[in-house]
Structure 1
């Protein structure tokens, strides 16, 4: 696959330096084999996340200088509000310091112990916020008929209908869709599937929310893969998507192209009043929501840049370039490739390591030791949980390692280096061992858990 030409030129750089093999070994050991604990200056290629790690544009940096730091009613808020109204078209919104804050507020307002919240796949912070309120996150991904299906992020509409009938709509305070589906290879959700979910939720009088942090990538995939929408703009498709739901949680750190920020938007005035009250307690005044005025202005510009189609074409093609490079050397990657990351099946890569020994931690450790590359495990460390009803540990269907590409950050040479590093790991794949957890917290354990290698 040819490398896509960047629709921008580089204006500012940040120096990176590769540590020696012995230094990397000491660093990883001191981090207790959790790459989250490694200082960024000790990382050569950082694919841990695409959340807030991309490069902002000259226009965004210019907007930062216009930031109004007034406590209440800052002009920065109204500039952001104009863009949010234009793209998302909800009646009310409140800014938050990032997406998980929006999730926390939504769940604190709506979820009570014993409630169920269905989705195509809840991601880690969404799932943790639901559990922290006593709720039960339920994943109902559509079974993929073939790996060539472009919309592998869909929710199973038949399962959703059955689930609502089984537990009762009164036990479901809201339903959700994550676009793109980060827990399922970053694959998009079709507009037909979004409409179908909307019809089911609304016929059962269940509020429908979308986790919209990668909505622009999802809308671009709809335009690219559904011929009915190829003449529409990404913004027009996005408006159709959001017309199907009652509200969204948004992390601006993804398709808002900013380092920090997010928001929660709804149409229900009574619900918004409750949201606003909690936001004042947790985040700050409703016109700044835990952000400085300059952050609000940067997000206002970033949201517009995030729906530019030449950028989205480059963005998704760059991800596919890395995925194809890995596939060609024999790395077991999920296909088709999504918009923001390449997902590696670590259990398939290390078939001699049982899932209870966390092959994803084996791979993330191996990549750092071999090349100073930081990735993230999205398998049993991130998503396994103890099910009280079943009285057993329930593991996710796949043991994945995600290689998330920061936006507008890395070049072809960087990605080629990642492929070469994987090649080095593959040459000695049978020598790698599993890991065990020595300590972990109750929620979101992959962020801070500690490990040791199994001998």
Structure 2
């Protein structure tokens, strides 16, 4: 194996340990919907890497050492100074998490007639923009098998689209790394080119920077020009091409809560600041506690350290290698998460019987594993495609930061190997009680488990 955890474990939490029979009963009682299962019955929760990081002794110490305040807390100064040094943006505002910044930003900027272009927008950002009357248009690059930067935006198409939009009626969001492009990074060349196009059309450019540090490290390892450059310097160059950014600190900030909005545009900053008072709270705390601002400030420093990022990216890559050896078909190269082609894992299950959902249920029964489907997982047809499956046939394994060890990853690989070895015994599923959101859907197996 290629990586070693760069830390010692100071505190441990016992893993839940329901038996296989108990897990089968729990799944049945949950309507064959793993999202309805209580956390205490999940052994390995790979549903998200957001807000699940294990924080360091330095973060906990800073949280205990600070004093709470709601007007001018000292932690706000620490928070702002840390982000200014990291990003170069002069105007900083805290929020309780990334989607709060999305909500405020789009409530300020979005309106009927505005178009938001993106490589791909995360569902919360897309929904917040659309709720404010904007139209969201994704212009992702064409996916290249084995491509190093499949999170790129299609610049030629963006040029064409912006020529058709009236002045002042567009903004561009680059998501780094790109969730809906299998967690793949965006290249520095693409960031720079998008920035040039936006300046040419007088169009604001913002970053969804939840995983900016991982994106910077991917640039370091996949672009020879940057191999000797610290990730923090790469990130600073990335930020220089944007007018602003919003971020959930629950990812690369190594925190359980928190986020921020940062910009160099004073007018947008003023509008955001006025609006957030009615939504998030005072501009000096943004709806989070002083101790959480301290944790974010420290977490951003730790999360952009090259030693930590080497561990983080190599652990993801090693996890992918473990799964490949178990026979799991996944998107390569591995990005910020593991994307698995469930249709190829379970070729005997027709598309209309939801192979991704069936695989997820099998993972819970066999190993107590919870993961995630893409958001439109229940909107499938009966074409039963295999070689070029739609997004709905994929599941995603997110690896919470500093939480699981190499032995855990090897064990999860063994779970997959067992499942694939007995794949014919796995039943497809059907919708028993539909729901607008897959979290609440009730399913049932085609045949008894």
Q: TM-score scaled by structure 2? A: 0.93
- Identify if the C-alpha distance between structure 1 residues 31 and 222 changes in structure 2 by more than 3 Å, giving closer, same or farther: same
Superposed displacement of residue 83, structure 1: 0.4
CA deviation map 1:214-271 (0-9, x unaligned): 0011101111111111222111111110010111110000000000000111121111
1:109 aligns with 2:108: yes
Superposed displacement of residue 169, structure 1: 4.8
Superposed displacement of residue 137, structure 1: 2.2
Determine the structure 2 residue equivalent to 1:388: none
Determine the structure 2 residue equivalent to 1:439: 434
Determine the structure 2 residue equivalent to 1:252: 249
- Identify if the C-alpha distance between structure 1 residues 168 and 22 changes in structure 2 by more than 3 Å, giving closer, same or farther: farther
Determine the structure 2 residue equivalent to 1:309: 306
Superposed displacement of residue 167, structure 1: 4.3
1:281 aligns with 2:273: no
Q: Secondary structure at the match of 2:377?
A: helix
**Mapped contact 2:431–2:441 kept (Cα < 8 A):** no
Determine the structure 1 residue equivalent to 2:72: 73
Distance (Å, rounded) in 2 between the aligned partners of 1:378 and 1:98: 21
Q: Secondary structure at the match of 2:65?
A: coil
Distance (Å, rounded) in 2 between the aligned partners of 1:49 and 1:405: 7
Determine the structure 2 residue equivalent to 1:451: 443
Q: Secondary structure at the match of 1:90?
A: coil
Superposed displacement of residue 397, structure 1: 4.3
Distance (Å, rounded) in 2 between the aligned partners of 1:156 and 1:91: 30
Q: Secondary structure at the match of 2:284?
A: coil
CA deviation map 1:286-314 (0-9, x unaligned): 01111010000000000000011111111
**Mapped contact 1:358–1:380 kept (Cα < 8 A):** no
- Identify if the C-alpha distance between structure 1 residues 134 and 34 changes in structure 2 by more than 3 Å, giving closer, same or farther: farther
Determine the structure 2 residue equivalent to 1:129: 128
Segment of structure 1 superposing worse, 292-301 or 182-191? 182-191
**Mapped contact 1:436–1:454 kept (Cα < 8 A):** no
Determine the structure 2 residue equivalent to 1:377: 373
**Mapped contact 2:427–2:446 kept (Cα < 8 A):** no
Superposed displacement of residue 50, structure 1: 0.5
- Identify if the C-alpha distance between structure 1 residues 17 and 233 changes in structure 2 by more than 3 Å, giving closer, same or farther: same
Superposed displacement of residue 170, structure 1: 4.1
Determine the structure 2 residue equivalent to 1:181: 178
Superposed displacement of residue 396, structure 1: 5.6
Distance (Å, rounded) in 2 between the aligned partners of 1:129 and 1:433: 34
1:408 aligns with 2:424: no
- Identify if the C-alpha distance between structure 1 residues 90 and 163 changes in structure 2 by more than 3 Å, giving closer, same or farther: same
1:16 aligns with 2:37: no
**Mapped contact 2:377–2:393 kept (Cα < 8 A):** no
Q: Secondary structure at the match of 2:339?
A: strand
- Identify if the C-alpha distance between structure 1 residues 355 and 199 changes in structure 2 by more than 3 Å, giving closer, same or farther: farther
1:299 aligns with 2:291: no
Q: Secondary structure at the match of 1:279?
A: helix
**Mapped contact 1:67–1:295 kept (Cα < 8 A):** no
Q: TM-score scaled by structure 1? A: 0.92
Q: Secondary structure at the match of 1:210?
A: strand
Distance (Å, rounded) in 2 between the aligned partners of 1:406 and 1:312: 13
**Mapped contact 2:249–2:296 kept (Cα < 8 A):** yes
Superposed displacement of residue 323, structure 1: 0.6
Determine the structure 2 residue equivalent to 1:158: 156
Superposed displacement of residue 398, structure 1: 5.5
Determine the structure 2 residue equivalent to 1:201: 198
CA deviation map 1:5-50 (0-9, x unaligned): 1111100101112211221122222323332322211011111110
1:351 aligns with 2:347: yes
Superposed displacement of residue 163, structure 1: 2.0
Determine the structure 2 residue equivalent to 1:215: 212
Q: Give the aligned length.
A: 438
Distance (Å, rounded) in 1 between the aligned partners of 2:430 and 2:166: 41
Distance (Å, rounded) in 2 between the aligned partners of 1:125 and 1:401: 19
**Mapped contact 1:118–1:138 kept (Cα < 8 A):** yes
- Identify if the C-alpha distance between structure 1 residues 70 and 318 changes in structure 2 by more than 3 Å, giving closer, same or farther: same
Q: Which residue among 425, 433, 436 is the counterpart of 2:419? A: 425
- Identify if the C-alpha distance between structure 1 residues 112 and 414 changes in structure 2 by more than 3 Å, giving closer, same or farther: same
Superposed displacement of residue 277, structure 1: 1.6
**Mapped contact 2:326–2:414 kept (Cα < 8 A):** no
- Identify if the C-alpha distance between structure 1 residues 438 and 302 changes in structure 2 by more than 3 Å, giving closer, same or farther: same
**Mapped contact 2:373–2:392 kept (Cα < 8 A):** no
1:234 aligns with 2:226: no
Segment of structure 1 superposing worse, 99-108 or 20-29? 20-29
Distance (Å, rounded) in 1 between the aligned partners of 2:391 and 2:397: 18
Q: Secondary structure at the match of 1:380?
A: coil
**Mapped contact 1:360–1:379 kept (Cα < 8 A):** no
1:7 aligns with 2:3: no
- Identify if the C-alpha distance between structure 1 residues 44 and 192 changes in structure 2 by more than 3 Å, giving closer, same or farther: same
